[in-house]
Structure 1
Amino acid sequence: MLAMLVLFSSCNKRFLGFKFSPREVLTIEEIDYEYISTRSKIRYKNQEDKTKATANIRIKRDSLIWFTLSNGVGIEGARGQITRDSVIILDRINRNIYAYSFEQLSEQFQFEFSYSLFQAIIIGDLPVPLSKNDDIVEKNNNFYVTQRVRDLRVSNMVSSKNRRLENVFATTLRNDNTLELKYGDFKPLEDKPFAYKALMILTYYQDGKKQEAEIDIEHNRVKIEDESLSFPFNIPDRYEKRQ
């Protein structure tokens, strides 16, 4: 019995013939941080509307996303913040303010947006935390996690090699609007693999016409900060609110 105890505690159970369900095997290497900052290149495309910018992004986990957008010569054109309930963007060139609650943003694009989704896009973590109700399948060296959250059906692909999210496909159940996320160029960030490239493709219908918006993010620098960051943001009185 002592020999069996040593054997079972020191040997891999797969080798001994035991089978595990994908749920028991799946572990995700989430980034451990309280504050994180990036310097990134962002390209945006929506039909004929195209633009690119250099972004400085700062995040306080599960609380606040702050960013600035600058042109090629370093002139800041926009500054924004995303909180748990809203998105506010200052157009510093035209002195305008764009402010949306997540309810307004979701209604405009007929897709359920949230703070957690924006944070997950930047960091590369699961937009929806794992739960016991999720369907998890292991196939072709990857884990496929299917989730149902209110109006959304979310399909995630997690690599079995680096245990990081590589693809997300979310669709609304009441229409044909979809959101796809693709991650690549994984490099070590401290002791965890981090995706230095992310592509978001939002497909939605507006006035009966199919629209497609793309945001391509390439991080040049990512740093987990040891100390708290500042998030300078104030709204000048002379700025005009726009929708």
Structure 2
Amino acid sequence: MSKRIALSLLLAATVFGSCARKSVPTKSEVSKRPVPEAVRATNVEFRFLSAKGKAQFDYQGNQQGANINVRIRKDSVIWISASLIGLEGVRAYITRDSVQVLDKLHREYYAGDYAYLSKRLNVPVNFDMLQALLLGNYLPPIDAATEPKVVTEGDMQRVNYEQANLLVQQLIELGKARVQQLTVEDPASQNKVTVDYSDFRVLERMPQSFAHNTLLQIQQGQAKPTTVTLSYRSVDVDKERLQFPFSIPKGYARKK
């Protein structure tokens, strides 16, 4: 697994920023805002969520697969582990204020705030964006004063708004009340990201639908799109109080 692909495990962090290098607040309370009444989306509610499955990356024709384990304490911690052939290669521990990534393949680690991660990945990032993308939840504008444009078209609802010169569009399937597609586009650079959610299944402990398949297509200018596919085989909500183990072993070099 190359360093580029290993870092791609923070795929949600790169998705929103791939469109443009613009300022995005890092200490946002976006996820705690209720979904507007006009928007017919229902977000996944939980305290602890655990998901296991596979990730498939295709970067400029180079393909790489990995097993992934995602744990989330809502609005607080995102923990991601990826392994190849049974051996863990990357572990990430992400909070609202900090990002830490352990690269076991190269005996290195990354630690810093969101400005650090944004600089490393050359994109702006914040916690709420990453959490919403992993969950398939509705993502409201960062600026509470921004009023989304909501249009109903048959069994779909289209929600559009602009922020930081980016055009954001979400398609909501009314029957499931879940986001089916998210698009973020930078008209100036023609960079575009499309996230499609599918294979919705009702969770075991709560009457909520969760997308077990997520397909990301990242288009930067005229280059060949980068795609990331997440396929979950199991998703558990509030089954148990989860642990988020993370420590830096001795001898690991801090990546500057």
TM-score, with structure 2 as normaliser:
0.75
**2:156 corresponds to 1:178:** no
- Residue in 2 that maps onto 1:20: none
Q: Amino acid of the residue matched to residue 127 of structure 2?
A: Y
- Residue in 1 that maps onto 2:44: 31
Which stretches in structure 2 are left out of the alignment for 5+ residues?
1-35
Partners of 1:110 and 1:177 within 8 A in 2:
no
Task: Summarize the alignment of residues 89-100 of structure 1 with structure 2, pairs less than 5 Å apart.
Answer: 89-99=101-111
* Alignment CA distance shift 1:37-1:70 (3 Å): same
In the alignment, the residues of structure 1 paired with residue 56 and residue 227 of structure 2 have an alpha-carbon distance, to the nearest angstrom, of 8
In the alignment, the residues of structure 1 paired with residue 99 and residue 63 of structure 2 have an alpha-carbon distance, to the nearest angstrom, of 21
CA drift of 1:196 comes to 0.5
Q: 2:58 aligns with which of 32, 42, 45?
A: 45
Partners of 1:112 and 1:151 within 8 A in 2:
no
In the alignment, the residues of structure 1 paired with residue 166 and residue 116 of structure 2 have an alpha-carbon distance, to the nearest angstrom, of 17
- Residue in 2 that maps onto 1:9: none
CA drift of 1:32 comes to 1.1
Q: Amino acid of the residue matched to residue 167 of structure 2?
A: R
- Residue in 2 that maps onto 1:79: 91
**2:163 corresponds to 1:157:** no
- 2:57 alignment partner, SS class: strand
Q: 1:219 aligns with which of 232, 248, 256?
A: 232
In the alignment, the residues of structure 2 paired with residue 173 and residue 114 of structure 1 have an alpha-carbon distance, to the nearest angstrom, of 22
After superposition, give the CA deviation of every residue in 1:194-235 in whole Å (9 maximum; x if it has no partner). 110001122236xxx736332210111000125431110011
- 2:225 alignment partner, SS class: strand
- 2:177 alignment partner, SS class: coil
Partners of 2:44 and 2:135 within 8 A in 1:
yes
Identity percentage of aligned residues: 26
In the alignment, the residues of structure 2 paired with residue 110 and residue 46 of structure 1 have an alpha-carbon distance, to the nearest angstrom, of 17
* Alignment CA distance shift 1:50-1:88 (3 Å): farther
Determine which structure has greater relative contact order: mean sequence separation of CA pairs < 8 Å that are 6+ residues apart, divided by chain length: 2
- Residue in 1 that maps onto 2:210: 194
Which stretches in structure 1 are left out of the alignment for 5+ residues?
1-22
TM-score, with structure 1 as normaliser:
0.79
**2:152 corresponds to 1:138:** yes
After superposition, give the CA deviation of every residue in 1:170-210 in whole Å (9 maximum; x if it has no partner). 013553222211000011012011110001122236xxx73
The structure that has the greater radius of gyration is: 1
Partners of 2:42 and 2:138 within 8 A in 1:
no
- Residue in 2 that maps onto 1:19: none
**2:252 corresponds to 1:236:** no
Could you tell which deviates more after superposition, 121-130 or 101-110? 101-110
Matched residues, number: 217
- 1:116 alignment partner, SS class: helix
Q: Amino acid of the residue matched to residue 91 of structure 1?
A: D
